[in-house]
Amino acid sequence: MNDSSSPPVATGGEEHVLGADGKFHVTDEPVDLSIYGWEDWISFALFWLLAFVVFYQVFTRYALNDPAGWTEEIARYMLVTVVFIGASMSVRKNNHIQVDVFYRFMPPPLARACSTAVDLVRSAFLGYAAWLTWLLIDKIGQQRMAIVDLPMVLVFGPMMFGFTLMFWRSLQVGVRHWRSGYSVLERPEVALEGGEK
């Protein structure tokens, strides 16, 4: 008599999904939510709010044949918010587009210097962008949106928050690279091993 809780049968070093009893014996890995930062959850919630607004827009346009005019503008501004706050997630994980082929041909000291320069320039750019967004809010933040009578600070505020968060995360990434003595540009295999988080 076969035991239904028997482990998968392995033949020739390979694991089979079907057990001796002909049933599936698969267990999922435990879900690890600790890999997500708090900005990931904000982006996730805003994305689904954006999806609801777009669904409402499609529903009113095609099902009711009476489109809600405010949805176009709100969806556009919510997409901007999702992009800028969500970009901080990529800065934290250090997985923006990069060209690392040159680092394979550089001597290690030059590669280290270039990698450090990338960290410094990235942080400086994001800090400056946050400052420019602050100046923009100061100048036109109280102007009203075109269709919805709300201040534009509701659009530029999340942009500044996103830039500030990207700046902060880029400083953290730079410090992490400085302490470890290398970055993913110098050792791309680290990203494949899951070391760059």
Q: What is the pLDDT of residues 97-152, one digit of tens each?
A: 777 778 888 898 998 998 899 999 999 999 999 999 999 998 887 788 888 888 88
> Could you tell me if 69 and 135 lie in one domain?
yes
Tens digit of each residue's pLDDT (9 = 90 or more) over 41-90: 999 999 999 999 999 999 998 888 888 888 888 999 999 999 999 999 88
Could you tell me which residue, 5 or 158, shows the higher pLDDT? 158
> Could you tell me if 10 and 42 lie in one domain?
no
Radius of gyration of the chain measured on its C-alpha atoms: 24
Q: What residues does 15 pair with on adjacent strands?
A: 10
CA angle 149, 49, 72 (to 5 degrees): 45
pTM of the model: 0.75
Residue 161 one-letter amino acid: F
> Could you tell me if 8 and 26 lie in one domain?
yes
> Could you tell me if 146 and 156 lie in one domain?
yes
Q: 84: how many CB neighbours lie within 10 A of its CB? A: 22
In a domain, 165, yes or no: yes
Q: How many domains does the chain have?
A: 2
Q: Which two tokens stand for residue 147?
A: 């269709």
CB environment 96-107: b (16+ within 10 A), e (fewer)? eeeeeeebeeee
